[in-house]
Amino acid sequence: MIRFSLKKFTKDNSGTSALELALLSPVIILMLVAAVDYGSAYVRQMEITNAVKAGIQYAMVMRPVTITNVNADTNEVTVIADIESLTSAEVNSHLASSSNDTTTIVSNLYCTCGGTEQLCTATCVSDFGAYMEVTVSETFVPPLLNYNWLPDGYINLSSSSTIKINSK
């Protein structure tokens, strides 16, 4: 009798579709959630890159054109400090409310004289160049899943750009 019911059970294939769906649906849902998390990180990386571009464009337009051969007694030093803070403010306005506690914005103005980096307040005789570097970094926490297998469970996003804003 038991042998007969086992044969009937092995030959009956009704419900196999439901069983396959039950076995595969967690895998499909996990792949979908991971794709949404990856897409969110990708969109955030694009936002950070666009904010860095906006900061560089701001530095290009508002560049301090008077920083050649400066000395500490003139007001050009104030212009240099202002261009860094104003560029950071421009980047921050592009990120708006989407930035989180881990968002770091660094605007760095540095000068070169004859190919070597120096303070922008130093006097340069030849081959002077002023460069603005804007860097934004952020720790991205995926919105749907906690990825404990990643170091610290999050993704580090970063974008940086440098432009030569003045030369003599």
Rg (CA), the chain: 28
Segments making up each domain of the chain, as ranges: 2-167
Q: What is the mean pLDDT of the chain?
A: 77
Distances (CA, A) of 33 to 12, 20, 30, 131, 151: 35, 20, 5, 42, 20
pLDDT band at 47 (very low <50, low <70, confident <90, very high): confident
Distances (CA, A) of 30 to 21, 56, 92: 14, 39, 34
Segment 78-114, tens digit of pLDDT: 445 567 777 788 887 877 666 677 888 888 888 887 7
The amino acid at 39: G
**Whether the predicted model's global pTM rises above the 0.75 cut:** no
The amino acid at 18: A
